[in-house]
A and B are shown apart, each in its own frame.
Chain A
């Protein structure tokens, strides 16, 4: 209770009379008595060195707003940043639903209390299922990194093998997450890529295929924004080898691009941040996993899967957990990773987003993004000494090669920042062969003017 004896608005029973009444009911005089099982040597002697509470809501808001005002946003600037977190337009209704008290503060109720939560998450799964053309999709995981890791562990359990091949065009950030989740139980081997197209090095792949290989994990589009065209040619040798093909995919690209299941992927995974969730400094992530509806796959999901069913009342939908107490066919890992709080609200929001967009909206959105990114690539590559690093189809991201300009990406980005432009992510630190390269993302929020302005500023700076 900061400032004298005012009762904190969040702690009603601090009212002295109430406290006294409750203590009397318990039959003790002091709350300290309730801590008597904690030995003296463990008791904190001094007060915590934390500032006095800002108990006035108005003052708290002012304080926080001042603090946050030191941030400048992607809305105040022109941002070409992507690399796994994207500025897409968030429809108003997504915010409306995500902010509903009912969804925001629900947790683990029974379907009889939380029918709406179960249905909303079932619908999220179903909408993702349409996008992915898979009959099973889980409730969201923490992020793509965890979804990819779980997909890889599933591949390991399904095949009872321990080597996972990973196409090295993966996000370096995500690769680190995968290492944390999968090693040392799984052994990770990287597979190379073509230096011209960034496509998977097929020779390298075939050299590595043997009976220790659980599967291949490939991101498509790759971290460099390039589209792998040889999906089927990759899937076939994997399947002939008894291995599982796992593809990480940008779900937002599936309005017009083939879903991984179309070219032979057994497991698809990725992130739902772009589907109606704000960026939140890279915090509003959520992962998905989609597979065929085969028992051997379904049983290896660690995640909850909400199913639709009937109730005792004809014509009424009911929802619940599918394969409650899922038993892994691979009994060796009976726990199958862990389940807990993940990113359900982002999933519900993604469901709202996909319901709004519909098939036509997704097509329009994809076309818009492709046209704009193509335009940006065209304009940028017209600059002297500047090129697009890989020759491939790009969806919304591409690698700009500034190496011939003699300027580092860091220098260029500093200059752009001064003009209110967030240049693409510097790739040098993570990829030795991409010195002087930056990863640019173009989404529907970027306008022609924005691109032209970028090109103008680059031209001015590089000349």
Chain B
């Protein structure tokens, strides 16, 4: 018997219905309510759960009481085991965090949560990559890659995962934007962390060609090629992102997933560095900068790696930027270019153009990089 955890952030999405670009924080929620917003996350959760109903004999559902899960589950005809309850009269982010922690402790096979980027951040903060999760898109902001493309799709993937048709997992980005800035028209999503999600590729047998290896194998292939090409006397600035991580692991070094690290001659000379530390580390050496796109829009720079400043970029030189990405990541852009948004227009336009993107061992793509504008 598998165990499924369910967390609904009942207020998720309320800001969006009244044009508030998000629902983070009690004041915004209050304003949303004043503007007439009604909770809708539980409805979206119910649409996802409907897909699970036919499989209800095969899993046990754990959730919190009331609108945090019990209610939408019951509406679908599911009989959840209630393991806790949220704050009253109104739930707060700490409820999500507490619920996620409890479900992780109980060893759920999959944790479904309904919400947006803010909810994803809370779940991520509580459990990291320790539990396989899947987001039911119910919030205003959906920049994170941990969400299914719709509530029914979330239900379908969850059913396939619990049913053993999907057996692999992969890491996906948790992104969030600064809502306050967004309301003022400034979008600055940043990479917040990673969570483990089901790898939705299903086991199709009608193959004509060898199927693609899993993401981790591709990342290792990328790293292998990079390591072969690394020169001992060069300094390598390794940007954030999971695609860069196997490089550090294979070198036997520590990787700060969300930060910038530096390597020279196979030795670590910096971890989670600030702009100033990077610039200091660059002194007296030719440098290369290894970057990977983050987020669904494919940002190379300006989303969670602001420490790689225009100054750093100028000192590295465009020709010494090494872009790495899995083919899946590139295809998910559907032909859209990779983006840079360093905050400096001159630097951005300097960076535009075509790049070789390392996509595997002895494999590369040639791909366009544009300014975000």
The answer to whether any beta carbons of A and B sit under 8 Å apart in the complex is: yes
Decide yes or no whether B213 CB sits under 8 A from chain A. yes
Bound state CA distance, A325 and B215, in angstroms? 11
Q: Closest CB of chain A to B56's CB: distance in Å?
A: 17
Q: Is B211 within 8 A of A333, CB to CB? A: no
Bound state CA distance, A304 and B220, in angstroms? 23
Q: Is A325 within 8 A of B214, CB to CB? A: yes
Q: Is B360 within 8 A of A334, CB to CB? A: yes
Q: Closest CB of chain B to A269's CB: distance in Å?
A: 19
A283 contacts across to B, CB distance below 8 A: none
Bound state CA distance, A326 and B363, in angstroms? 18
Bound state CA distance, A160 and B115, in angstroms? 48
A340 contacts across to B, CB distance below 8 A: 208-209
5 closest A-B pairs by CB: A327-B217, A339-B210, A334-B221, A325-B211, A331-B221
Decide yes or no whether B205 CB sits under 8 A from chain A. yes
Q: Is A333 within 8 A of B361, CB to CB? A: yes
A-B contacts, 20 listed (Cβ < 8 Å): A111-B205, A302-B210, A304-B207, A320-B203, A321-B205, A321-B207, A325-B213, A325-B214, A326-B213, A327-B213, A327-B214, A327-B217, A331-B220, A331-B361, A332-B361, A334-B360, A338-B210, A339-B207, A339-B209, A340-B209
Q: Is B203 within 8 A of A324, CB to CB? A: yes
Closest to A329 in B: B217
Q: Is B205 within 8 A of A110, CB to CB? A: yes
A residues with a Cβ closer than 8 A to B are: 108-111, 118, 302, 304, 320-321, 324-328, 331-336, 338-340
Decide yes or no whether B206 CB sits under 8 A from chain A. yes
Bound state CA distance, A442 and B326, in angstroms? 55
Q: Closest CB of chain B to A295's CB: distance in Å?
A: 14
B211 contacts across to A, CB distance below 8 A: 324-325
Bound state CA distance, A109 and B212, in angstroms? 19
Q: Closest CB of chain B to A218's CB: distance in Å?
A: 28
Pick the contact of A110 from B206, B208, B221, B361 — CB < 8 Å? B206
Bound state CA distance, A334 and B219, in angstroms? 11
Decide yes or no whether B204 CB sits under 8 A from chain A. yes
Bound state CA distance, A332 and B208, in angstroms? 23
Q: Closest CB of chain B to A335's CB: distance in Å?
A: 7
* A332-B203 contact in complex given A327-B213, A338-B210, C-beta closer than 8 Å: no
Pick the contact of A320 from B205, B213, B224, B363 — CB < 8 Å? B205
Decide yes or no whether B110 CB sits under 8 A from chain A. no
* A325-B208 contact in complex given A331-B220, A332-B221, A332-B224, C-beta closer than 8 Å: no
* A110-B204 contact in complex given A324-B211, A325-B212, A335-B210, C-beta closer than 8 Å: yes
B79-117 CB contact bits vs A (8 Å, 1 = yes)? 000000000000000000000000000000000000000
* A338-B209 contact in complex given A320-B203, A324-B203, A332-B221, C-beta closer than 8 Å: yes
Closest to B223 in A: A331
A326 contacts across to B, CB distance below 8 A: 210, 213
A333 contacts across to B, CB distance below 8 A: 361
**Which of A326, A331, A332 has the largest count of B CB atoms less than 10 A from its CB?**
A331
Q: Is B213 within 8 A of A334, CB to CB? A: yes
Bound state CA distance, A340 and B209, in angstroms? 5
Q: Closest CB of chain B to A84's CB: distance in Å?
A: 28
Pick the contact of A334 from B205, B207, B208, B217 — CB < 8 Å? B217
Decide yes or no whether B154 CB sits under 8 A from chain A. no
Bound state CA distance, A111 and B308, in angstroms? 51
Bound state CA distance, A336 and B209, in angstroms? 12
Q: Is A108 within 8 A of B213, CB to CB? A: no
B217 contacts across to A, CB distance below 8 A: 327-328, 331, 334
Bound state CA distance, A335 and B209, in angstroms? 11
A334 contacts across to B, CB distance below 8 A: 213, 217-218, 221, 360-361, 363
* A108-B361 contact in complex given A331-B221, A334-B217, C-beta closer than 8 Å: no
Q: Closest CB of chain A to B268's CB: distance in Å?
A: 22
Q: Closest CB of chain B to A157's CB: distance in Å?
A: 12
Closest to B209 in A: A339
B186-205 CB contact bits vs A (8 Å, 1 = yes)? 00000000000000010111
Closest to B219 in A: A331
Closest to A341 in B: B208
Bound state CA distance, A52 and B224, in angstroms? 57
Q: Closest CB of chain B to A9's CB: distance in Å?
A: 29
A328 contacts across to B, CB distance below 8 A: 213, 217
Q: Closest CB of chain B to A12's CB: distance in Å?
A: 27
Bound state CA distance, A280 and B31, in angstroms? 81
A302 contacts across to B, CB distance below 8 A: 210
Q: Is A109 within 8 A of B361, CB to CB? A: no
Enumerate B208-242 residues with CB–CB distance to A below 8 Å: 208-214, 217-218, 220-221, 224
A320 contacts across to B, CB distance below 8 A: 203, 205
Q: Closest CB of chain B to A363's CB: distance in Å?
A: 37
A109 contacts across to B, CB distance below 8 A: 206
**Which of B204, B210, B218, B363 has the largest count of A CB atoms less than 10 A from its CB?**
B210
Bound state CA distance, A324 and B217, in angstroms? 13
Enumerate B118-175 residues with CB–CB distance to A below 8 Å: none
Closest to B218 in A: A334
Closest to A110 in B: B206
Closest to A118 in B: B205
B28-40 CB contact bits vs A (8 Å, 1 = yes)? 0000000000000
B201 contacts across to A, CB distance below 8 A: 325
B203 contacts across to A, CB distance below 8 A: 320-321, 324
Q: Closest CB of chain A to B217's CB: distance in Å?
A: 4
A336 contacts across to B, CB distance below 8 A: 210
Given contacts A118-B205, A333-B361, 8 further A-B contacts (CB under 8 A): A320-B205, A325-B211, A327-B213, A327-B217, A328-B217, A334-B363, A339-B207, A339-B209
